[in-house]
């Protein structure tokens, strides 16, 4: 089943509470069969800002054999300023291809300009590849895939979109992925009506000032530099960071999961830089020296 922008108006009840524009999709949209899709038009201009797809197709996979691909996509549409928070992965085979992988966010995560947004139309939530030829092979990827057999329930996509007046707004879309990564459920969504103002995932009220960010400790987080590289080690998930010079100019803006990350600043001038790391409402800033 395909859900159009017009159908969305019938499926949802939209209300403004303080500064947030919240839409409860009732009943939930369920994409359980290949070929089904759904679109969200946030600025009511007749063009979907974000689309969701359930797809199945055959293509060349491992060893040059034909395999079946089953995939759930989320995508940013309408204009190049719209985006979804996520990471990328590069596949070097068959001429090379970059995968865009939205991350499932927990409640009370700050969504603002620090996050890493991607504008691709087809960003992989959950993917399954099956190659029946010998040796039979099955592969999966995507942060929304239920790796340990548990459904990904009521998590958030962090989004930004730009309206016809070129005003940036931040928001979230709450989704679930069930049935071993084959069914996508879209529950509700909200965005902050104030321009360029952060919003917390799950917030349906909005903020009449700004989201409060406090300086504090992030357990187990270490940041240091060597030469022209910055190293971040953390046991925490979904750390958002940005690297700035002392004039406040942002040099790098990304998101990391738990583990170790090496960030190369080959084009940065020699000098002192600030590394601002943030998880939910806690922020910690480190000072590093870059030498090129």
- Per-residue confidence (pLDDT) for residue 212, from 0 to 100: 55
191 and 64, same structural domain?
yes
Query: At 12, is the pLDDT very low, low, confident or very high (cuts 50, 70, 90)?
Result: very low
Higher-pLDDT residue of 11, 252 = 252
End-to-end CA distance of the chain: 55
185 and 60, same structural domain?
yes
112 and 59, same structural domain?
yes
Q: What DSSP assignment string belongs to 170-213?
A: EEEEEEEEETTTTEEEEEEEEEE-STT--EETT-SS--SS----
160 and 98, same structural domain?
yes
Q: Give a yes or no: residue 206 inside a domain.
A: no
Residue 58, number of CB atoms within 10 A of its CB: 10
* Contacts (Cβ under 8 Å, ≥6 apart) of 49: 40, 41, 42, 43, 76, 77, 78, 82, 161
Mean pLDDT (the chain) is: 84
99 and 75, same structural domain?
yes
Range of the domain at 39: 2-200
pLDDT digits over 211-241, tens only?
555 566 777 888 888 888 888 888 877 788 8
Q: Give a yes or no: residue 246 inside a domain.
A: yes
Q: Please identify, among 200, 234, 263, the residue that sits at the C-terminal boundary of a domain.
A: 200
Q: Give a yes or no: residue 208 inside a domain.
A: no
106 and 53, same structural domain?
yes
- Per-residue confidence (pLDDT) for residue 215, from 0 to 100: 60
Q: How far apart are CA 150 and CA 145, in angstroms?
A: 9
CATH number of the domain that 219 lies in? 2.60.40.3080
Q: Nearest to residue 191, comparing CAs of 180, 199, 181?
A: 199
Number of domains in the chain: 2
- Per-residue confidence (pLDDT) for residue 193, from 0 to 100: 84
Residue the block writes with tokens 């080690």: 233
Q: Give a yes or no: residue 77 inside a domain.
A: yes
Q: Please identify, among 142, 170, 200, the residue that sits at the C-terminal boundary of a domain.
A: 200
136 and 83, same structural domain?
yes
Higher-pLDDT residue of 95, 270 = 270
* Contacts (Cβ under 8 Å, ≥6 apart) of 90: 96, 97, 98, 99
Report percent pLDDT > 70 for the chain: 88
265 and 127, same structural domain?
no
156 and 11, same structural domain?
yes
234 and 188, same structural domain?
no
Residue 17 has pLDDT above 90, yes or no: no
- Per-residue confidence (pLDDT) for residue 66, from 0 to 100: 86
- Per-residue confidence (pLDDT) for residue 15, from 0 to 100: 41
Q: How far apart are CA 12 and CA 7, in angstroms?
A: 9
178 and 62, same structural domain?
yes
169 and 36, same structural domain?
yes
Q: What is the pTM of this model?
A: 0.70
């Amino acid at each position: 089943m395909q859900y159009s922008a017009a159908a969305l108006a019938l499926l949802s009840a939209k209300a403004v509470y303080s500064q947030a524009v919240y839409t409860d999709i009732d009943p939930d949209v369920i994409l359980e069969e290949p070929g089904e899709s759904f679109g969200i038009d946030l600025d009511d201009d007749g063009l979907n800002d974000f689309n969701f797809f359930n797809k199945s197709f055959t293509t060349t996979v491992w060893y040059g054999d034909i395999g079946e691909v089953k995939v759930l996509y989320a995508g940013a549409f309408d204009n190049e300023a719209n985006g979804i928070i996520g990471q990328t992965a590069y596949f070097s085979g068959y001429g090379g291809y970059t995968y865009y992988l939205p991350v499932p966010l927990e409640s009370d995560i700050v969504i603002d300009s620090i996050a890493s947004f991607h504008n691709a139309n087809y960003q992989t939530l959950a993917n399954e590849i099956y190659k029946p030829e010998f040796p039979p092979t099955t592969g999966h990827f995507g942060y929304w895939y239920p790796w340990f057999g548990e459904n990904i329930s009521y998590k958030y996509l962090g989004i930004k979109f730009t309206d016809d007046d070129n005003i940036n707004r931040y928001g979230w879309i709450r989704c679930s992925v069930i049935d071993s990564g084959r069914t996508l459920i879209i529950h509700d969504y909200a965005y902050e009506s104030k321009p360029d103002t952060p919003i917390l995932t799950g917030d349906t009220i909005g903020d009449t000032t700004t989201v409060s960010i406090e300086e504090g400790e992030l357990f187990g987080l270490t940041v240091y530099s060597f030469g022209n590289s910055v190293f971040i080690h953390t046991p925490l998930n979904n750390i958002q960071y940005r690297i700035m010079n002392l004039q406040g100019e942002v040099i790098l803006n990304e998101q990391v999961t738990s583990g170790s990350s090496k960030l190369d600043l080959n084009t940065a001038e020699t000098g002192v830089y600030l590394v601002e790391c943030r998880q939910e409402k806690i922020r910690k800033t480190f000072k590093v020296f870059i030498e090129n």
